[in-house]
Amino acid sequence: MLFQTPEFLVFLVIVVSFFAIARTGRWRKFVLVLASCIFYMWWSPSFIILLLVPMLVDFNVARWLAREESPARRRGLLAISIVANLGLLGFFKYYVFFLQNLLSLIHLAGANAQWRTPDIALPIGISFYTFERLSYTIDVYRRAAPPTRSALDFSLFITFFPRLIAGPIVRASDFLPQLHRRTALHFDLGIFFLLLSGLMKKVIVADNLSPFVEQVFSSPAVWPSVVIWLAAIAFAIQIYCDFSGYSEMAIGLGRIFGLELPKNFNRPYFSSSPSDFWRRWHISLSTWLRDYVYVSLGGNRGGTASTYRNLMLTMLIGGFWHGASWNFVLWGFLHGCALVFHRMVRSAERIATSPLRRRIGHVFSVALMQYWVLLCWIPFRIRDSSAMLTALRKFVVPDGNFEIASLGLGRMSIFSTSLLMLTFLTIHAFSNWKGDLDARFARASMPTIAAIGIAAGVIFVTMWPLSQAPFIYFQF
């Protein structure tokens, strides 16, 4: 049940109706939990067990943690939660990968071994809700947050459907206090524009760029460098619009029920350094990794070498979180290298003194950072190692062939794709300069609102993608 489908609209109307009918806060929370379970079961009914059983474990572990004073027992309780959560994630997401790599290693050593790797389906959203549950028990263990006494509140924290499948990754300390307030329905122009903006990003931009990216990156050997560059930019925009569009819709849906979800993106393609990028891209994951991995590893408290090691390990884990595949590890490694390198040289940034030099330096930094980000998207997108290396070579070493007009006759959508990218980048740059457009539109005059509505309607009919793609982050 994708957000942009008619069945989701019907589902939402039903949920809103029941939510409105329910008079007390308790019943409203119950409606949301029930709706969230149905929403999850729409994808895979049996996997609801994976959502609910560990939830019971974490709920009780957290309550015991709050009562327990013995450090050893507290560590033991935390270990139960970590093992339960990571054990499930490890089995469903990484077990097959581990078996396949073990087999490759055995073959590499010259031994002869054969076994059939099992076919294990990945429960949708498992990476997201595992991290949310872990953050809860770790926070209670660190005494950074109190445990909730309400199983209903905890259930809603884990299952709340707008962000159940692909985040934003919510912290219990942010979400649970909101449930103490009286929940109420909200629907205004601000929420509407947030949903509209998310929907447009997803279906009009991301889904329309998807076929071009697929066409080029499925066989990069046959395309010139300039097309590889265009495809890398197209994928950068696609994944941003896909994921930030989903996040905006999730935030908008949350607000309908009076619940605020954290912002997940802050125009990452205007970042001027690796650390700046990770403050703007998938914010809920990067802050999670910072607080629960980087800090746990020692952060920057152990000297230069251990800081670099911790940064690299955090990014490798972040890469591996995305999927059980070496290309995600490589993606994490490349970003880790950039973070380490930036930390090495960042003192040099402060040398530029005059405003003009600083301005030029900033533009240069943004360009350099985005070059690196684009390069990193190639291993993220192309899993086949030979095709990935070909694309990387053509991206880094241009072949000088710029005759894109001679490519294909009729079926190649290179110009309309470029126009779509240009339009998006212009709007994106404008919103970076003037602030969020959805917030501006929500304050606009009546004629402007009518004009935007008509334009959006025409755009939906004429630009709705020919084939719908699921959200990219659903696979993680």
Partner 1 sequence: MANRTETSGRPRQRRLLAMLLSLTLGIATGFYLMPTLFAAAPLDLRRTQILLQALHTGPSRPEIVVFGNSIAMCGIDARAIETGLPGSPISWNLSSPGQTLAESFLYLQELPRSVRTIVYVLPIGNLESPAAFNPYVINAFYMYGYRPSKATRELLTAIYKPSEVIPLTQPNLAQRFEARWAVRNSVDTGLRQLLRPDLELQRSLEDLHHPAPYTQRLPSEKLDRELRDLLTTHGRGEFRPAPAQMRLLSNMVTTALRDQRHVVLAFAPIHPTVLEGFGAEFTPALEEFIAGLDHRSGVSVLDATQLLTGDDFIDAVHPTSAGAHRWTVRLVETLAELN
Point out the residues that are catalytic.
322
Q: In this complex, which beta carbon is closest to partner 1, that of residue 453 or of residue 470?
A: 453
d(CA 234, CA 463): 17
Helix (H) or strand (E) holding 167: none
Residue selected from 229, 387, 452, 474 as contacting partner 1 according to rule CB under 8 A: 452
Q: How far is the CB of 423 from partner 1 (least distance, A)?
A: 11
Stretches 147-155, 182-190, 324-332, 383-391: which one binds partner 1 (CB under 8 A)? 182-190
CB 179 within 8 A of CB 258: no
Q: Scan residues 394-423 and list those touching partner 1 (CB under 8 A).
A: 405-406, 409-416, 419-420
33: number of Cβ within 10 Å = 21
7: number of Cβ within 10 Å = 10
d(CA 89, CA 87): 5
Residue selected from 9, 56, 144, 455 as contacting partner 1 according to rule CB under 8 A: 455
Kindly state the tokens that stand for 98.
Answer: 């581990």
CB 128 within 8 A of CB 167: yes
Residue selected from 83, 457, 468, 475 as contacting partner 1 according to rule CB under 8 A: 457
Residue selected from 17, 185, 443, 470 as contacting partner 1 according to rule CB under 8 A: 443
Residue selected from 454, 468, 470, 475 as contacting partner 1 according to rule CB under 8 A: 454
Q: How far is the CB of 14 from partner 1 (least distance, A)?
A: 19
Helix (H) or strand (E) holding 428: helix 414-434
Q: How far is the CB of 184 from partner 1 (least distance, A)?
A: 13
Q: How many residues bind partner 1 (CB under 8 A)?
A: 39
Q: How far is the CB of 405 from partner 1 (least distance, A)?
A: 4
Q: How far is the CB of 466 from partner 1 (least distance, A)?
A: 6
DSSP letter assigned to residue 472: G
Q: What is the signed CA dihedral for 313, 318, 319, 325, rounded to 10 degrees?
A: 100
Could you identify the residue written with the tokens 């920057």? 300
Residue selected from 72, 345, 397, 446 as contacting partner 1 according to rule CB under 8 A: 446
Longest dimension (CA), the chain: 75
Q: In this complex, which beta carbon is closest to partner 1, that of residue 9 or of residue 450?
A: 450
Phi (first) and psi of residue 52, to 5 degrees: -90, -40
Q: In this complex, which beta carbon is closest to partner 1, that of residue 430 or of residue 464?
A: 464
Q: How far is the CB of 23 from partner 1 (least distance, A)?
A: 21
CB 211 within 8 A of CB 154: no
Q: Scan residues 183-222 and list those touching partner 1 (CB under 8 A).
A: 187-189, 192, 208, 219, 221-222
Please compute Rg for the chain using Cα positions: 24
Binding interface with partner 1 (CB under 8 A): 187-189, 192, 208, 219, 221-222, 405-406, 409-416, 419-420, 443, 446, 449-464, 466
